[in-house]
Structure 1
């Protein structure tokens, strides 16, 4: 979700890759958050907000009114008490490449082409010139390169050699930046993966320690047998017996 504010109106941009049955609810939350933030900043007047929803999923999307969410046709006397707002809807997947190119709006063209073909990485790999068309501003190049390469990184079915070949086929003004950007994304991904692995290991160890405490409590305080404890904590009986034996040996050594 992105918000672009102006003096007269503000725009909320939301994009979906999967069909959303009740988009008004999410858009309304965004609108309320934006208005609340404006009031929090001591702005006495609220701007109208125009929601814009861009969809690039494979399934069809049937746009409907908010009052249809209630499962039956409501009487006219109820309608004034419901939120009444619309949103601008763009189904990118249904647009042809020619229609997108006719938009003539810089980075919007590249973004829509990328979203339309995002489920077909081979198309992107073999149509770099189309995907990167009309990117003349350096900052636009950099932003879009990050977007494309981040997608490639998350798409596990693409081999690194293919991605490197894609980068090499880019115009010379882009491939050097793209290669350094991709290397940076890979390095950051490794760091995130390592931190996530460490976090999971710590959580597993903490859970294991908690289970061990329960086993010893059941044995020492509740006087349960190892067989009974194994059933209670869903552990192998050998595990329970080994833990109890080690704990008793440690107690003897301490005494």
Structure 2
């Protein structure tokens, strides 16, 4: 599935790693469930069951594992919206049916594997929805027991990260970093989120493999500054200072806001170019689309740093070519005034 947003990307880059998924399951699954799952057999599957309509709010990962000494699956659904979904039990049921259908059609299976569904949520609103399908069925609780058995029902495991305290977040360093940041990305203001970032940096010191730490720190920074566009240059500078004093190995891996936005601008520009150009004019269309996206990025960053820009600046920036815009964006963090921008507009 195409990665649509920073929440999806961060979730999959983190929990798509078998060792992190194992650590999560070992620390958060109820004891009576984890004892029947052989986590050493955990194997990620490439299938995704989220349709395009729901991609902006959900991500999923499917793992194959031996459950009670037989083939089974663990389905991990991540809801990255600021509010909870009332029909989550129904959506999950559809996904599980799709998994079973795939087993029947592709492998001609005559027995269905066990599927254990988990939902991870980190929205602003508290989750006030039941975790069973029966609660969605009108009057289900009032039915006699001998009638209930004709109506499908099941329960899913649920983790509301927003309710976890620091002491309740468990596991190895990367697991704790991911859970902490996902918990706070929607619920804390800039100052509170930076505190969580600083805590995450301290967790990196626990990693024996420094290269792993550096790589994951880059993943973490991409997520934070892509998901929270309200973070300022001053916020970024605080993170840089913290890295330099606490985790110097990661100082070179810090990706500036300008660099992140520039990469997004290039991708957006290439997409705009592909849409705009026919075969004969594709190259020109791509260049125009890239320039337009980079110009928006430059204006956005300059506005964030210096306030509302004069219209002549916006007009001049919009006329620049991609190489010039690249150079301008590279220097934005160091500019002292808009006078330094004028040299590109002449």
The 1-side partners of 2:153 and 2:235 are apart by 49
- Residue 223 of structure 2 corresponds to 150
Aligned: 1:15 with 2:90: no
Structure 2 unpaired stretches of 5+: 1-59, 278-346
* Contact in 2 for aligned 1:125/1:163 (Cα 8 Å): no
Between the aligned partners of 1:144 and 1:36, the Cα distance in structure 2 is 39
Pairs within 5 Å for 1:78-117: 78-100=147-169, 103-117=170-184
Which has more radius of gyration?
A: 1
Deviations 1:131-164 (CA, angstroms, capped at 9, x unpaired): 2343314436524531442331242212245325
* Whole-angstrom distance in 2 between the partners of 1:51 and 1:148: 30
Q: 1:176 to 1:83 in 2, by over 3 A?
A: farther
Shift of residue 56 of structure 1? Answer: 1.5
Whole-angstrom distance in 2 between the partners of 1:24 and 1:193: 35
Counterpart for residue 107 of structure 2 = 42
Instruction: Call closer, same or farther: CA 1:118–1:81 in 2, change over 3 Å.
Output: same
Assess if the C-alpha contact under 8 Å between 1:7 and 1:47 holds in 2.
Answer: no
Number of aligned positions between the proteins: 199
| 91, 95, 114: which one aligns with 1:26 | 91
Root-mean-square deviation (Å): 2.9
Give the aligned partner of residue 201 of structure 2. Answer: 132
3-state SS of the aligned residue for 2:219? helix
1:51 and 1:58, CA in 2 relative to 1: closer, same or farther beyond 3 A? Answer: same
Match in the other structure for 1:235 = none
Aligned counterpart, 1:167: 240
Gaps of 5+ in 1: 203-255
- Counterpart contact for 1:167–1:179, Cα < 8 Å: no
SS in 1 for 2:265: helix
Moved more, 87-96 or 2-11: 2-11
Alignment partner, residue 66 of structure 1: 133
Q: Is the 8 A contact 2:63 2:73 kept in 1?
A: yes
Deviations 1:83-104 (A, max 9, x none): 322111112111111211xx23
Residue of structure 2 in register with 1:194 after alignment = 269
TM-score by length of structure 2 reads 0.50
Shift of 1:60: 2.0
Q: Structure 1, residues 191-234: CA drift from partner, whole Å, max 9, x if none?
A: 233245557878xxxxxxxxxxxxxxxxxxxxxxxxxxxxxxxx
Tell me the residue number matched to 2:62. 3
TM superposition shift of 1:25: 1.3
For the 8 Å contact 1:164–1:179, the answer to whether it is kept is no
The answer as to whether partners of 2:184 and 2:196 remain within 8 angstroms in 1 is no
Kept in 1: contact 2:122–2:182 (CA 8 A): yes
Retained in 1: the 8 A contact 2:217–2:250? no
Deviations 1:227-255 (CA, angstroms, capped at 9, x unpaired): xxxxxxxxxxxxxxxxxxxxxxxxxxxxx
Using the alignment, how far apart are the partners of 2:102 and 2:108 within structure 1?
9
1:237-252 equivalences in 2 (<5 Å): none
Matches within 5 A, 1:200-219: none
Scaled by the length of structure 1, the TM-score of the pair is: 0.65
Could you say if the C-alpha distance between residues 192 and 85 of structure 1 is closer, same or farther in structure 2, counting changes exceeding 3 Å? Answer: same
Q: Which residue of 2 aligns with 1:75?
A: 143
**8 Å Cα contact 1:150-1:185 kept in structure 2:** no
